[in-house]
Amino acid sequence: MQITVTVNGDEHTADVEPRLLLVHFLRDKLGLTGTHWGCDTSNCGVCVVWLDGTPVKSCTVLAVMADGHTVRTVEGLADGAALDPVQEGFVRCHGLQCGFCTPGMMMTARWLLDHNPDPSEDEIREAISGQSCRCTGYENIVRSVRWAASRGTEVSAS
Amino acid sequence: MGPMQVPAHFEYERATSVDHALALLAKWGSEARVVAGGHSLIPMMKLRLARPEALVDINDLEELAYVRLDGDVLAVGAMTRHADLLASPLVGEHYPIFHDAERVIADPVVRNRGTVGGSLCQADPSEDLSAAFAAVDAAAVVRGPDGVRRVPVREFHTGPYETVVAPGELLVEVVVPVRPGGGSAYEKVERRVGDWAVAAAGAAVWLAGDTIADAGIGLTAVGAAHFHAPAAEEFLRGSAATDSVLVEAGRIAAERCEPVADQRGPADYKKHLAGELTVRALRRAVARARGVA
């Protein structure tokens, strides 16, 4: 069936099977491979994107469910060449090693800071508790988000 | 690319109103499944544990996404997301058991998508809200081609993954009367954050002075029929709200449940948890009813 999804502000129309998952639509149909595909069981959280402004695990959302709705992926975080403070925080605080979990972590972190500009360490850990990182032990991810929070609230809402 | 897990072929229908959803369900009959958050159904479809011919998507039914007080009845729309139940001050004020439960259901991102109605209708024997709604003696409001019917949550589940909702019907709302003197709480043991329960218990009490005027106990993951512990409730009604009474109620609840061993633990451990968590939930519910917690 034909669907139209607004992704990072751009409308995309495509013919898809109803069983196509949103994560594969983004990666394979639109070439937006920043969203990663991991456990396929909504446990690991590497596929987190925003659907209508809310983080969801895109391996457990059908692409057809996004028809007529808006999606924001990690490709939509930066404003041109200017990184989102969350991205800059991950760079400065070594919030990643292998980088596999990073896009999902950053999408959840951006959402957290939009709703709670000065989160405590516990609040950050709670927010990302449905997302696995096998490299950092989460310590530097939490620091990265704190860095973005302390950097101020130039929040990019799209 | 490695092997993808994707569902088998199905037809997709998107409902634009409750009436439209009912029309779509009538059209597809028993071959249709309703999909809300999809966080149980879609994984089951990937594994071919569910293979509907058609999915009726009700995610656009904003009319079913609400938490409100209708007179002295707390009404929760079936499309209320877990995150919204957790964020609701009304729920926190009248039935904190749901906030306790929501804090330990999956994780925040899954809670953004999963729904109250989906949780009840999925009828997973380890599901938390089923036990919480059983504890407070809520009623499910089900709409079908012949109108609306109300089913006590304690009669809603007919077995693992089975409910009274017939093909062509839709759960639209869950309602709980708000009564004075009440307190409620939920206690869960899980292997790791966000997991299904090894065991969990929900308790609601209504005090008249130091006497338990009424009580409700819900259990999950321990083989309690209808997520319910009626014998322990019966024991509590009219008893003094003392710790030894609560401990005895826990003993009765544990005695009557029939957990099975699985990867989450052996049966005797789960039975022990059923009793202990019942007692802890009752203690907290009593403290809240007294306004001291």
CATH code, domain carrying B163:
3.30.465.10
* Residue at a domain's end among B141, B157, B177: B177
User: Residue B145 contacts by C-beta under 8 Å, 6 or more apart in sequence?
Assistant: B22, B26, B168
Q: Does the beta-carbon distance from B109 to A64 stay under 8 Å? A: no
Q: Each residue of A46-83: pLDDT tens digit?
A: 999 999 999 999 999 999 999 999 999 999 999 999 99
- Using CA atoms in the order A19, A22, A28, A33, what is the torsion angle rounded to 10 degrees? -160
Residues from chain B that touch A62, judged by Cβ atoms under 8 A, are: 12, 38, 42, 55, 57
Tell me the CATH architecture of domain A85-150: Orthogonal Bundle (1.10)
Tell me the residue type at A26: L
Q: Give how far B252 is from chain A: nearest CA, Å.
A: 36
Q: Are B117 and B132 members of one domain?
A: yes
Tokens of A89: 């925080």
Q: Does the beta-carbon distance from B107 to A1 stay under 8 Å? A: no
Q: Does the beta-carbon distance from B12 to A1 stay under 8 Å? A: yes
The pLDDT value given to residue A152: 63
* Residue at a domain's end among B177, B193, B211: B177
Q: Are B277 and B246 members of one domain?
A: yes
Q: Are B39 and B126 members of one domain?
A: no
Q: Are B19 and B51 members of one domain?
A: yes
Q: Are B162 and B186 members of one domain?
A: no
Q: Are B24 and B118 members of one domain?
A: no
User: Residue B274 contacts by C-beta under 8 Å, 6 or more apart in sequence?
Assistant: B199, B201, B219, B222, B224, B250, B253, B254, B257, B259
Pick from A45, A55, A61: CB nearest B38: A61
- Using CA atoms in the order B99, B179, B141, B71, what is the torsion angle rounded to 10 degrees? -100
Domain A2-76: top CATH class: alpha beta
Q: Does the beta-carbon distance from A130 to B110 stay under 8 Å? A: yes
Number of folded domains that form chain B: 3
For residues B289 and B183, the answer to whether their CB atoms sit within 8 Å is: yes
Q: Does the beta-carbon distance from A55 to B112 stay under 8 Å? A: yes
Q: Each residue of B185-243: pLDDT tens digit?
A: 999 999 988 899 999 999 999 999 999 999 999 999 999 999 999 999 999 999 999 99
Q: Which domain holds residue B134?
A: 62-177
Residues from chain B that touch A51, judged by Cβ atoms under 8 A, are: 113
Confidence band of B5 (pLDDT split at 50, 70, 90): confident
Q: Are B69 and B49 members of one domain?
A: no
Tokens of A116: 């709670």
For chain A, how big is the Rg over CA atoms in Å? 15
Residue of A nearest to B11 (CA): A18
ipTM: 0.94
Q: Are B144 and B221 members of one domain?
A: no
CATH of the domain at B38: 3.30.43.10
Q: Are B72 and B37 members of one domain?
A: no
The pLDDT value given to residue A157: 44
Q: Each residue of B111-164: pLDDT tens digit?
A: 999 999 999 999 999 999 999 999 999 999 999 999 999 999 999 999 999 999
Q: Under an 8 Å CB criterion, which residues of B touch A?
A: 4-12, 14, 35, 38-39, 42-43, 45-46, 55, 57, 59, 106-110, 112-113, 193-194
Q: Each residue of B92-103: pLDDT tens digit?
A: 999 999 999 999
A68 beta partners = none
Residues from chain A that touch B57, judged by Cβ atoms under 8 A, are: 62, 64-65
Q: Give how far A63 is from chain B: nearest CA, Å.
A: 11
Q: Under an 8 Å CB criterion, which residues of A touch B?
A: 1, 17-21, 24, 40-43, 45, 48, 51, 54-57, 60-62, 64-65, 67, 108, 126-127, 129-131
The pLDDT value given to residue B1: 47
Name residues of chain A where pLDDT drops below 50: 155-158
**Probe site for chain B from A60, A61, A69, A138 (most B CB atoms < 10 A):** A60
